[in-house]
Each structure stands twice: as structure tokens, then as C-alpha cells.
């Protein structure tokens, strides 16, 4: 039901396309703010490289045939000593969920394939309530079964999804089984080639959410585009009582407004407001907001700010701002694996703040909702991105639909977060007619979903003799002239990079989405010694010299905050399967360039304060 609602409202992704890549519905807004039961904890798992638990020996999926049992989702126990069952979750090892499998079992470190995971929980479903089984993220393809019956599937490793399980829950014990498969495919999003670890499994929370029969499925409460005196958005109900009066209240701002939902359960929200304490990195003010219908009520903490461009300026709440940023992967260098909770996330974001950052690029895929909420709270603007990375299957319509759906799931989830200032539609996608068409559609999709943020993409540079430029028709569809450039590392070196200069032919704010150099922490040499801290440090200094000469320079997110694991980085001494472009080492120690970037950002902060 909700699925169809979204498909209708979200125009760009047809219902059929949504079903092709996912039978799951887009997730409930603010799931943590609802009554829920947490299904995290230790889940039993079975590694299934040949997918024996999914296909019969004629390679027919058990869950699509009547051929009976065999599928691991049955969680079968032999009824007597003569029954033949070849698997068992009982007695199989357990892993912590949320958590990637690669870091929890040595034999899974580089594993790409299927793992079955089982959790049991007790439920006491109440009449008049609806229930949703919610997954924060499963990488990459998830098939979900409840009490032996398939609920559906979802593709995409970084966005939430849910299944309605009203009427499907047992009173008492229930069993949820997930077939998670992180195999890379050329026509998926991302594609086979990336520069990060392909962590598999259930990497974010699993919840059983309980809502009333007619409930607040979604809402957007934000300042209108470019207008600090008006809150604009919508409330969407789902259920049998579609037409209701809704109260949107922000007590601290003396706001209490009533709107009525229509026959589709939708109400447009337009509320004039007085001067608010606008959210900014210096004052990350969040207001308590409640949305109440006759049947449901949900509370959130929301910041209000505007973000716009004017010519080459970026304006936050109408004031010129410089994006003092850094790029971040969702990985903990200290405890292997994906970030698992608020503690990990706070550590990473605090490291960025220690460099005097006011902005982070959460590369190259949607980070968790918790991370974005922390950025809201800690005062960091966010560039949020989908994993449309390098060369994907531009001409495959299913790949486009998948990218649109992942982008939609990201925007649906994070549209109420003040910290999100830029939606990024991809990274280093090479110019060609099919790619331009594909990326153009993604830009249209994101603009139609949300017009209150900037739209960016990490473009590539082109060199013409000593000139570094960007020649990309996609730039016309973006708000920022944003690009990656590896002067001094992948081309040129500290010795000669200053012979190059930038010529950026767009009347837009220039934001450098990446530059950087690898440095093995503790390895010292002179500024010409590759892999040394001195090389990286000098490269940053040279970059500042070059970048400061760009008239529209308004920000940067050097690559990258912390060393991160990558299978494409095999050098035995310098890399050892780590990308060493971190400003902080794998053990959490700042490298020289960390201090250099901090000093530069301190100057920038002063410069913009006096504007």
C-alpha cells in the first residue's frame, strides 16, 4: 500500500521499477521515534557460497516453487531421528547485528556471496496496530522471510527498507531469516569496481515497529527554499482513516498549525514563522517538533536553515560560507568493520571537528541515519551521496531505476535533517552521451524530490597542457562546480604540480570534492618521498596555493579523514590493503597534514567570520 503511495508520489520511479529492484516498501520516517522492538543482537548464520539454501539442484529457487522444502528459510528441525535435514541454524555460529560479516569471522574477510542469518524474537501483536519489519541496511541483496514465508527482497546496501508484517506475526515466538548476498555485479549500484571494502551483511539496526492502524508514514518539515520565514512540507498518512486533522507543533517557536489530509492521506504544510534560531555549525539548534493526527503522534528534533547559491557564493541562512570539509568513509579504523553505533560515529565526526571542519562529505554511499542525526547535533554540514561510482551500466534501464530508487530512499530518509546541504548523485563518472543522459535523470529525480538542498556530483577534471579544467555537460544541471583532482599524486608530483593552474569555466561555487596523497603514518622522508608524511603534507600546501587562485573557491573535502581498507591497495609495505590517504592513521593518530589542514581551516574560519 505504502509502496504504491510512494511510487505514485515519487513520479520518477515507476511502481513497476520499484518492484523490480525491491518488493520492500520505503521505510517509515523517523523509525527510532516510533514504538519498536529492537531485533539486534547475536544472529545465527550459515555461510552458503553455492546458495544451496536458495536453489534446488536444478537451480530453481525453493521460494518460488511448490517443490517443498530445502530452503534454509524454513529453519527446519528434524522431527524424528529418521528425517533428513542438511543444515541447522542451531549450533551454527553467531555474529553481532548490526555488523558486517567480514570483520567477525576470519574466513569471511574477503567473502562475497550469500550468508543466511537467523534471529528469533517474541511478539505480542495487538489488535488495531500495524507492524513493520525494518532494516536500516543490508548489503547488498536481501531476501527476508518471517516464520518460513517470504516477505520480499531489497537491493542496495546502504538504504533502509521495510515489510509490513501485520497479521503475519505469531503470538509468542517468531523467526526472521535473511539471505544476504554481497556479490558485486556489473549492472548494479555500485558496480564491480570501487575503492572500498565490500562489507556484507546486516550492517544497520533491525527493528519491529508498531504503529496505529492509520499512522503517520512520512513527513517533511523544513524551511521553504530560500525563505527563512516559512516552514514548508507535507504529512502523509497511511491506513483506513485518510482524512484527518493534523497538528504540527514546535512549542519553542510558538508554532502550532493545523492542516487536513486529503483522500490520499496527504496534507501540504505551509506555516509562516517568526525569526528562528537558525541551524548552523556554530549553533546547531534543533527544535522539538511534534506531528499529531487523531490516531498517531510522532516527535522529532529538527533544525531549520536555508542553503542556496548566488553566483559563486554559497549562502547558509543568507550568509556567505566556506565549506571546511573532509571526506569520510563509514568505517572504523580501530575496530575493523563498518561503524556500528553512536560511539564510533561520534569519534569520526569529532575528528573532523578537531580539524575545525564545518562540513563532511559522507562518501560514497548513504551513511546511516544515526550519522546524519549526529551531524545535525554536532554542527556539521553534510554532502550525502549515492554509490553511482565510476563506470556503471549507463545504458541499462534497470540500473538507472535502481540508482533512482536508492537516491529516493536516501532523500526520503534524510530530508528532515538540517545538516544535509548537498545531495550528490555520483562520483567520477566519465563523460559520454549515455552517462550524461543517466546522470541528468538522476539530477532531475533529486530536484523533484527536494528543492531545498544543493545538488552536486564529484566530477572529473580534464587537463590541457598546464591548464586544469572541467568540461562536463552535467555541470549545467548542478548547483556546484564540484570535482575531484589528484594533482601531485596520480599525475604530476610535488616538484612540478605548481606549474599547473585551474580554469573553472562555471559561474558557480567551486567545491573540491577530493584531492590527496597516500602517507604511511610514521614513515618519514623529504617532500619528494612518496608515501611519506612529508610528501602528503607538502602536497596539501601546494594544493592550497593552487586552489586559492580559483576565484570561486568556496570549499573542499580532501580525501580522506582516516586511512580505510580497500582490496585494490595491495602494496605490501605502504598499503597492505589500506588506502593511506587518511589525515589520520589506521590507529587514530593524526599525520602531519592533519595539522596543516587544520591551520588552513582556522584561517578560512577567520576570513569568513569577518565577511
203 vs 513, beta carbon nearer ligand GCB: 513
Close Cβ partners of 571 (under 8 Å, ≥ 6 residues apart): none
Is residue 482 involved in binding ligand GCB (CB under 6 A)? no
114 vs 139, beta carbon nearer ligand GCB: 139
Beta bridge mates, 116? 46, 179
Rounded least distance, CB 426 to ligand GCB, Å: 10
Alpha carbon distance 445, 581 (integer Å): 33
Is residue 514 involved in binding ligand GCB (CB under 6 A)? yes
Rounded least distance, CB 195 to ligand GCB, Å: 4
Candidates 143, 285, 581, 604; binder of ligand GCB (CB under 6 A) is 581
95 vs 339, beta carbon nearer ligand GCB: 339
Is residue 195 involved in binding ligand GCB (CB under 6 A)? yes
Rounded least distance, CB 461 to ligand GCB, Å: 11
Site residue total, ligand GCB (CB under 6 A): 9
Grid look-up 561503524 returns: 339
DSSP state of 442: H
- Walk across the sheet containing 313-316 and list its strands: 307-310, 313-316, 319-320
Is residue 484 involved in binding ligand GCB (CB under 6 A)? yes
Peptide bond into 364 cis (omega under 30): yes
HEC sequence for 329-371:
CCECCCCCCECCCHHHHHHHHHHHHHCCCCEEEECCCCCCHHH
Alpha carbon distance 361, 457 (integer Å): 11
**Mutual orientation of helices 397-414 and 369-378 as an angle, nearest 10°?**
40
416 vs 566, beta carbon nearer ligand GCB: 566
17 vs 352, beta carbon nearer ligand GCB: 352
Alpha carbon distance 375, 393 (integer Å): 33
Rounded least distance, CB 116 to ligand GCB, Å: 31
- Walk across the sheet containing 227-238 and list its strands: 215-224, 227-238, 266-272
To which H or E segment does residue 114 belong? strand 114-123
45 vs 140, beta carbon nearer ligand GCB: 140
Rounded least distance, CB 562 to ligand GCB, Å: 12
514 vs 533, beta carbon nearer ligand GCB: 514
Grid cell, residue 30, equals: 523517523
Residues 416-475 that bind ligand GCB (CB under 6 A): 427-428
Residues 549-568 that bind ligand GCB (CB under 6 A): 559
CB 425 within 8 A of CB 386: yes
Rounded least distance, CB 230 to ligand GCB, Å: 38
3 vs 424, beta carbon nearer ligand GCB: 424
Which positions from 137 to 176 touch ligand GCB by CB under 6 A, shown as an x/- string?
----------------------------------------
Close Cβ partners of 233 (under 8 Å, ≥ 6 residues apart): 219, 220, 221, 222, 268, 269
Candidates 579, 586, 592, 596; binder of ligand GCB (CB under 6 A) is 579
Is residue 591 involved in binding ligand GCB (CB under 6 A)? no
DSSP 246-284: EEEEEGGGTEEEEEE--TTSEEEEEEE--------SSS-
Rounded least distance, CB 331 to ligand GCB, Å: 12
26 vs 516, beta carbon nearer ligand GCB: 516
| CB-count burial class (<10 Å; 0-12, 13-18, 19+) for 577 | middle
Is residue 385 involved in binding ligand GCB (CB under 6 A)? no
610-to-225, 544, 552, 607 alpha-carbon distances in Å: 26, 20, 18, 6
Rounded least distance, CB 390 to ligand GCB, Å: 8
Is residue 580 involved in binding ligand GCB (CB under 6 A)? no
Rounded least distance, CB 387 to ligand GCB, Å: 10
Candidates 155, 324, 364, 554; binder of ligand GCB (CB under 6 A) is 364
330 vs 514, beta carbon nearer ligand GCB: 514
Rounded least distance, CB 484 to ligand GCB, Å: 5
DSSP state of 307: E
Phi, psi (rounded to 5 degrees) for 411 = -65, -40
Which positions from 13 to 52 touch ligand GCB by CB under 6 A, shown as an x/- string?
----------------------------------------
Grid cell, residue 146, equals: 518471517
User: Within 13 Å, how many C-alpha atoms sit on residue 375's CB side?
Assistant: 28
364 vs 453, beta carbon nearer ligand GCB: 364
Give the residue from 226, 307, 328 showing the smallest Cα distance to 509: 307
| H helix runs in 525-591, sequence order | 533-548
Question: In the complex, which residue's CB is closest to ligand GCB?
Answer: 195
289 vs 556, beta carbon nearer ligand GCB: 556
* Residues at the site binding ligand GCB, with contacts judged by CB under 6 A: 195, 364, 427-428, 484, 514, 559, 579, 581
Amino acid at each position: 500500500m505504502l509502496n504504491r503511495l510512494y511510487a505514485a508520489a515519487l513520479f520518477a520511479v515507476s511502481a513497476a521499477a520499484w518492484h523490480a529492484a525491491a518488493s520492500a516498501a520505503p521505510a517509515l520516517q523517523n523509525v527510532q521515534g516510533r514504538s519498536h522492538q529492537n531485533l539486534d543482537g547475536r544472529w545465527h548464520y550459515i555461510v552458503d557460497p553455492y546458495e544451496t539454501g536458495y536453489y534446488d539442484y536444478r537451480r530453481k529457487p525453493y521460494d518460488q516453487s511448490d517443490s517443498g522444502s530445502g530452503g534454509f528459510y524454513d529453519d527446519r528441525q528434524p522431527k524424528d531421528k529418521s528425517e533428513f535435514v542438511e543444515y541447522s541454524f542451531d549450533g551454527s555460529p553467531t555474529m553481532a547485528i548490526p555488523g558486517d560479516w567480514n570483520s567477525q569471522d576470519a574466513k569471511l574477510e574477503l567473502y562475497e556471496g550469500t550468508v543466511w542469518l537467523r534471529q528469533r524474537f517474541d511478539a505480542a501483536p495487538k489488535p488495531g496496530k500495524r507492524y513493520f519489519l525494518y532494516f536500516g541496511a543490508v548489503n547488498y541483496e536481501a531476501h527476508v522471510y518471517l516464520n518460513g514465508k517470504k516477505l520480499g527482497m531489497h537491493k542496495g546496501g546502504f538504504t533502509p527498507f521495510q515489510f509490513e508484517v501485520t497479521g503475519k506475526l505469531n503470538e509468542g515466538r517468531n523467526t526472521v531469516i535473511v539471505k544476504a548476498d554481497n556479490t558485486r555485479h556489473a549492472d548494479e549500484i555500485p558496480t564491480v569496481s570501487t575503492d572500498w571494502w565490500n562489507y556484507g551483511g546486516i550492517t544497520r539496526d533491525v527493528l519491529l515497529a508498531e504503529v496505529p492502524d492509520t499512522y503517520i508514514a512520512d513527513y517533511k518539515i523544513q524551511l521553504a527554499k530560500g525563505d527563512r520565514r516559512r516552514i514548508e512540507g507535507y504529512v502523509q498518512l497511511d491506513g483506513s482513516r485518510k482524512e484527518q486533522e493534523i497538528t504540527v507543533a514546535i512549542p519553542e517557536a510558538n508554532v502550532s498549525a493545523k492542516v487536513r489530509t486529503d483522500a490520499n492521506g496527504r496534507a501540504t504544510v505551509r506555516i509562516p514563522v517568526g525569526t528562528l534560531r537558525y541551524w548552523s555549525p556554530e549553533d546547531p539548534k534543533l527544535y522539538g517538533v511534534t506531528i499529531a493526527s487523531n490516531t498517531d503522534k510522532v516527535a522529532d528534533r529538527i533544525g531549520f536553515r536555508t542553503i542556496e547559491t548566488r553566483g559563486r557564493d554559497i549562502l547558509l541562512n543568507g550568509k556567505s560560507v566556506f565549506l571546511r570539509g573532509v571526506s569520510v568513509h563509514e568505517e572504523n579504523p580501530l575496530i575493523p568493520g563498518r561503524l556500528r553505533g553512536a560511539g564510533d560515529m561520534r569519534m569520526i565526526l569529532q575528528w573532523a571537528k578537531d580539524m575545525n571542519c564545518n562540513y563532511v562529505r559522507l562518501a560514497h554511499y548513504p551513511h546511516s541515519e544515526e550519522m546524519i542525526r549526529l551531524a545535525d547535533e554536532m554542527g556539521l554540514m553534510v554532502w550525502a551521496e549515492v554509490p553511482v561510482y565510476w563506470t556503471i551500466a549507463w545504458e541499462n534501464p534497470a540500473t538507472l531505476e535502481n540508482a533512482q530508487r536508492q537516491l529516493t530512499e536516501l532523500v526520503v530518509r534524510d530530508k528532515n535533517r538540517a545538516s544535509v546541504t548537498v545531495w550528490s548523485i555520483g562520483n567520477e563518472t566519465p563523460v559520454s552521451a549515455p552517462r550524461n543522459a543517466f546522470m541528468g535523470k538522476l539530477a532531475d529525480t533529486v530536484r523533484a524530490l527536494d528543492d531545498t538542498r544543493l545538488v552536486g556530483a564529484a566530477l572529473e577534471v580534464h587537463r590541457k597542457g598546464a591548464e586544469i579544467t572541467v568540461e562536463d555537460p552535467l555541470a549545467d544541471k548542478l548547483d556546484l562546480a564540484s570535482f575531484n583532482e589528484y594533482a601531485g599524486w596520480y599525475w604530476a608530483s610535488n616538484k612540478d604540480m605548481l606549474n599547473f593552474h585551474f580554469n573553472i569555466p562555471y559561474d558557480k561555487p567551486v567545491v573540491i570534492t577530493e584531492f590527496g596523497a597516500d602517507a604511511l603514518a610514521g614513515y618519514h622522508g623529504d617532500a619528494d618521498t612518496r608515501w611519506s608524511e612529508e610528501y602528503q603534507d607538502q602536497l596539501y600546501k601546494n594544493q592550497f596555493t593552487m586552489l586559492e587562485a580559483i576565484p570561486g573557491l568556496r570549499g573542499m573535502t580532501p580525501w580522506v579523514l582516516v586511512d580505510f581498507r580497500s582490496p585494490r591497495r595491495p602494496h605490501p609495505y605502504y598499503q597492505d590493503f589500506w588506502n593511506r590517504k587518511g589525515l589520520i592513521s589506521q590507529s587514530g593518530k593524526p599525520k602531519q597534514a592533519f595539522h596543516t589542514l587544520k591551520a588552513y581551516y582556522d584561517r578560512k574560519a577567520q576570513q569568513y567570520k569577518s565577511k
